[in-house]
Amino acid sequence: MAKPYFLRLMMLCAGITLAGFLALSIFVGIALSQISLFQWGWLDTLADVTGTLFTVVAAWFLFPIVVSLIATVFQEQVANVIDRQEYGEAPSQSLPFLPELLHGLRLAGLALGLNLLALPLYLTVVLFPFVYYPLNGYLLGREFFEMVAARYVGRAEATALRKRHRAKAFLGGLLIVLMATLPGINMIAPFAGIALMAHVYRGMAKNITSR
């Protein structure tokens, strides 16, 4: 990631991610400021501030849900650079953007639903890391690996390959979720996730070819 040819993509990814957080915070703050819940102004102000802070915190921990959507924008550029610079090969086939975006939206909806179902367990604090990271690690490991592998072998074969190597895809997903919840590093989590899974796939493909 420290290599010069990745710098522009990392900065672009960080900029879009930061803009998303800022836009969400501003939108919620304005929306809450238009709702009067109490008769006293100071209580309304307290409710607005508390609601905005709660939304920012929630967005922070729900960020892995939208990581794959942001990655959809970058996956082709990042994977092409890795093909050329890291492996000296021509870029693989491009995936249609709209179907990939719709696929990412479906996953985001599924992830949101599962995380909402798990919310009572998150609130126990003690169980939070044992539920949050495995759940989202599985979801992101599946999506990122198949997103990358599909460029080489198509969606169906990418799914089959991921199922044969569940442990590697899952561990990769755990790393992506961890990056997505670390301050600063989460700004480039979509980029780093694509790069990570590109190397994971290449390692699998090399082992398959050598057999």
Q: What is the pLDDT of residue 32?
A: 57
**8 Å CB contact between 119 and 111:** no
- pLDDT for 15 beyond 90: no
Percent of the chain surpassing pLDDT 70? 79
Q: Highest-confidence range of 49-53, 69-73, 175-179, by mean pLDDT?
A: 175-179
Q: What is the pLDDT of residue 37?
A: 53
Give the separation between CA 208 and CA 211, rounded to whole angstroms.
Answer: 6
pTM: 0.80
Mean pLDDT over residues 189-207, rounded? 87
Closest to 171 in 3D by CA, of 208, 142, 203, 148: 142
Model confidence at 170, pLDDT cuts 50, 70, 90, reads: very high
Q: Which whole-number Å values give the CA distances from 130 to 121, 122, 135, in the listed order?
A: 9, 9, 9
* Other CB atoms within 10 Å distance of the CB of residue 4: 7
